[in-house]
Amino acid sequence: MVVSTTYLVSAVWDEEPPATARAALQTCVLRLRRLFTKYGISTTTIEAVPGGYRMHNDAETLDLVLFRALTSRATAAGGAGEELYRLREALSLWHGPPLANVASRMLRRDAVPSLEQERLRVLERVCDLELAAGNCHQVLVDLYDGARRHPVRERFTEQLIEALYRTGRQAEALAEYRTVRDRLRDELGVDPGAGLRRLELAILRAEEIGGPQAAVGPAARPAVGPAPTPAPGPAPAPAVTPAVAPAATPAAQPPAGPDLPLSAAAPDALPAPSARPAEPAADSGWRGVPRKGSGRPGLAPVPGFAGREGDRGAIAARLTSADGPRLVVVSGAPGIGKSALAHQCAYEVRGEFPGGVFTLALARPDGSPLTLDEARELLPGPGDGGDGRRLLVLDDAAGAGQVLPLLPAAEDAAVLVTSRRGLAAVVATHGGAVHRLDVLGPDEAYALLAGLVGADRIAAEAQAAAELAGVCGHFPLALRIAAGRLLTRPGLSVADCTAWLAEEPPARLALAEDPRLSVPEVFGQAVGALSPELREVFLRLGALGPRAPLTDAGSETELEQLVEAGMLEDGPPGKPPYRLHSFLLGYARWLARGPLPAAAAPVAR
């Protein structure tokens, strides 16, 4: 199909094209060809023809073509397992909103909605297949995200309610139903659909819902192909949109062979805010769910925790000081173990807080921050816990603006905050101490692997284990992911696992079951939270030569902002003023070969 020059001018400049629009369009095409060349796509992909341009696309050059091909193969699959694998593989090509960095009102109106509908139909089918297979825990993250982002798309809410009910969370399932019912009545003046009403009735009657017997054959499959495109011209695709994240979702992998692990047993997906006691999760730290109520019944040590003795002792001494309330901030790079340290410290000092230990995660599983109203609602009230001093852990704060309004409600509680940011405004106004975490030492990394995988297995390949820790950059997140792969393959040697991961650590250090156990996902969220200017500076850091000073990548102000965001470190006295963790540097170099993550939603103030 030939796309006319008139259509392209309208798409780029909407209704206000400049007088030199056609010449400027030629420049845009030239820049796009150069961009294609940078990513290994032939410059002849875009062909100038009389009246406009023609673009030759196939599954090798355009993600949208590959996405549609995979969904077609999934529809023709002979079994539910193969269909689910193909659809997951197709979804892995989506790394953020389409056209996230394109300002065209026409394309956002005409192209983006149909593209998004294609993705949502596939996601709904994936969730249906997961629920039919009984994988209710594993699909909760997708369902919470879908239900929150698309509140009037009732199918996601139906699936979420079913998953909650089938995992023993009857009260939460009913609360979800009532929330969407009230929203529909208040905003649209309608009642929930028949499917939601049947679910509510089944839950109230304590009936069995769903299960592996649910239909997953061809007759049960909704259409997951492309929706009709209302406007002429080629539909944009993620592959040529530089603002799309490279692997915001762990890429789908082929079935595991005899030598390499596909995935590891991951913790249950984290639900949205609720009132249950927190349970430990085996990620780079210990992510408590946004909850209120005494944390003591569910408080447990972090699985396999190792090292950080100096930090643990200093934090414990400050939190338990007899002088009164104390504030401690634990900051550092993404995946460096801030949550793990905070929750291990909370566990170790729990006996000093008769009023209870409370955990409030300030971020949802997808990394988006809670609003202040949500956080305030989840803070423990005066009647929660017992009498006496309390400890409040505020986990994964997006910034000082999210923490400061919560501190007055903490009253006499000691407060332990984790954040990638240093939260200078918090300690400047309320006092306290800041612990900036570095990577684990070699002995600590070895001990973490031994505690997770097993001391005997690690000791049998001690040298390979040390090399594995090096491949992981001594980052707790990466070490836990590597341990998860080893645990799922008892016959896999540490040396073979290390060699495989070393080929491309940023891409391969990811477990498909949980986005929190994914280096591309966790680091991508951190980069996506940066301003566009700082993301470009971080990208330039990855493109620097091995001996180039980091100051070549940006101004001092920009580098200081990266330090505050946890993506860069101050250098030691007498040394260069800035340093970048080797593992983050490897990620930056890997990122430089692909498009940057899309910007995150702004933090609620």
Q: How confident is the model at residue 515 (pLDDT cuts 50, 70, 90)?
A: confident
Q: What 3-state class would DSSP assign to 331?
A: strand
Tokens, residue 12: 């780029």
Tokens, residue 26: 């030629």
Tell me the range of 109-123, 125-139, 467-481 where mean pLDDT is highest.
467-481
Q: Which of 99-113, 183-197, 586-600 has the lowest mean pLDDT?
A: 586-600
DSSP codes joined into one string, 55-103: E---TTT-HHHHHHHHHHHHHT-SSHHHHHHHHHHHHTT--SSTTTT--
Higher-confidence residue of 155 and 15: namely 155
Nearest C-alpha neighbor of 73 from the set 84, 86, 64: 86
- pLDDT above 70 as % of the chain: 79
- pLDDT for the residue numbered 224: 55
The Cα-based distances of 181 to 13, 59, 172, 204, 329 in angstroms read 41, 42, 14, 16, 40
Tens-digit pLDDT profile for residues 318-369: 999 877 668 999 999 999 999 999 999 999 999 898 888 888 889 877 677 8
- pLDDT for the residue numbered 331: 94
Q: Which of 69-73, 147-151, 552-556, 600-604 has the lowest mean pLDDT?
A: 600-604
Query: Model pTM?
Result: 0.53
Higher-confidence residue of 290 and 35: namely 35
Is the predicted pLDDT of residue 123 greater than 50, yes or no? yes
169 touches 291 (CB < 8 A):
no
Is the predicted pLDDT of residue 289 greater than 60, yes or no? no
* Residue 467 backbone phi and psi in degrees, to 5: -70, -35
Q: What is the DSSP letter of 186?
A: I
293 touches 275 (CB < 8 A):
yes
Q: How confident is the model at residue 205 (pLDDT cuts 50, 70, 90)?
A: confident
Q: Which of 40-44, 242-246, 413-417, 477-481 has the lowest mean pLDDT?
A: 242-246
Is the predicted pLDDT of residue 280 greater than 50, yes or no? no
Tens-digit pLDDT profile for residues 402-456: 899 888 877 778 999 999 998 888 888 888 889 999 999 999 999 999 999 999 9
The Cα-based distances of 237 to 48, 95, 111, 248 in angstroms read 20, 11, 10, 16
Stretch 500-512: mean pLDDT:
87
- Average pLDDT score over the chain: 77
Q: Which of 208-222, 292-306, 381-395 has the lowest mean pLDDT?
A: 208-222
Q: How confident is the model at residue 531 (pLDDT cuts 50, 70, 90)?
A: confident
Q: Which of 245-259, 300-314, 537-551 has the lowest mean pLDDT?
A: 245-259
Residues whose CB falls within 8 Å of the CB of residue 440, separated by 6 or more in sequence, listed in order: 306, 307, 308, 337, 448, 469, 474, 475, 476, 479
